[in-house]
Amino acid sequence: MPPLVFPPDFLWGAATAAHQVEGDNVHSDWWAWERRPDTPCPEPSGIACDHYRRFADDIALLAGTGLNTYRFSVEWARIEPAEGTFDEAAIDHYRRVVETVRAQGLEPMVTLHHFTLPAWLADRGGWRAPEAPARFERYVRRVVAAIGGAVEWFCTVNEPGVVAFGGYLGALGFPPGTRDVAAWKGAIRGLVEGHRRARAAVRELHPTARVGATHSMQEWEADQGGRPVMEYLRRMNEDVFLEACTDDDFIGVQTYTRVRVGLPTLVGPLARLALAVPPLESALVPLTVRRETRRASEQAPAGASEPAPRDRGSGGVAGALGRDGERLTQMGYEFRPQAVAATVRRAAALHPGRPIVVTEHGVATGDDAERVEFIQQGLAALHAAMADGVPLRGYIHWSLLDNFEWARGYEMTFGLVAVDRATQARTVRPSAHLLGRIARSGRLEP
């Protein structure tokens, strides 16, 4: 078998998000959320990976592997800790981060919103607040005015579908934790409008920059009975946002697994929820219910049997198998690296000709050999999609570091680089060297 060859200008990178790695993000909604006893968070983010202070070393590690791109986010809650008050020291910090990325010969890709909001905006309803899109635009203007000249790739909103579904419908234990269809739809509207305003602002201030959103996309599968539910979920979690992005410069695709929706798996949750939520809307709640199932099973005595969960937001044990014998990741997702090729193909079909970047793809595992396999299989499947004409411009792995995995805490290890929680020592894993070698050579050896 000959090696698989990628284009010379391909973006090869690793990603982080501010709240997950920086530490002490005290003015954000998540900081407060993690400390509430009524949320599913097992632990607070605390100092995280101390990346706010160690960023230069971490960026040097990334560059040392051979990768050429660093995707990271700037933190709104640091930059605007109180409404209308902009912290020049924080803005300066991100200016230095961008300079460091450039000085290491890397391409910076900057995410403007990655799940967290300033607490002052969350207190007013977050993305449901009528003023949220305009406030987001004002913050984006400050950021782009400060660092825009040195950044060619901007991601406006990271996974708006997950923000809305995970927090406003309460499906993933994210803030604000409302379990309310009206809140969910209100947040969707706010996020779409926020994206549009941010995109316009970036373009006005920095016309040559490339700007897009990053989308959580699943490889969906359904049996005949599950199809209407699957289509509804896909529409509300993916398509409403993809359709709002027809004018973006690129589509960011982020895929972790395949989700299978079968009628038998829906009957129980639907029956339980039918009384609480209007029937049509209740079709999307199974994921929420599975999360509760997981929490109940965690408290169950050892050996108690519980059907293995399969969807994002559900739990799982490393090395465990799912209902149909499929391998599961630490997150409880099906180990399915090639799912990312199914989603880039779908994104390409929805937006013909528009450049696509895989802005996240990764696996939570305690065994780095699995990460190696995940990368190799994912890239092989992506290469086949490119051979079929999909205009893929880059592959950015999640994540550079083991980090704070939101409502799942630090137990999930996604990093190309291990982080010792007690000492903050970094250890570059073999998977990082592998991805770096592929990046340097532009070839995936069989």
Contact footprint for ligand BGC (CB under 6 A): 17, 20, 158-159, 162, 216, 254, 360, 398, 405, 414
Any long-range contacts for 59-64 (C-beta under 8 Å, 24+ apart)?
A: 59/97, 59/100, 59/101, 59/104, 59/106, 60/104, 61/400, 61/417, 61/426, 61/428, 62/13, 62/14, 62/104, 62/106, 62/400, 63/104, 63/105, 63/106, 64/428, 64/436
Secondary element (H or E) of residue 147: helix 132-147
Both tokens of residue 192? Answer: 């779409």
Amino acid in the structure at residue 293: T
Both tokens of residue 338? Answer: 């090639």
How many beta carbons lie within 10 A of that of residue 160, not counting itself? 28
CB distance 396 to 11 below 8 Å? yes
Judged by CB, which is closer to ligand BGC: 169, or 444? Answer: 169
Judged by CB, which is closer to ligand BGC: 158, or 178? Answer: 158
Secondary element (H or E) of residue 162: helix 160-163
* Burial status of residue 197 (CB atoms within 10 A of its CB: 0-12, 13-18, 19 or more): buried
Distances (CA, A) of 137 to 54, 133, 134, 395: 29, 6, 5, 28
Secondary element (H or E) of residue 426: strand 426-428
How many beta carbons lie within 10 A of that of residue 296, not counting itself? 11
Residue nearest ligand BGC, CB atom distance? 17
Judged by CB, which is closer to ligand BGC: 282, or 365? Answer: 365
The residue among 104, 131, 266 whose CA lies nearest residue 197 is 131
Judged by CB, which is closer to ligand BGC: 10, or 406? Answer: 406
Just list the catalytic residues. Answer: 159, 360
Judged by CB, which is closer to ligand BGC: 139, or 398? Answer: 398
Both tokens of residue 237? Answer: 């979690």
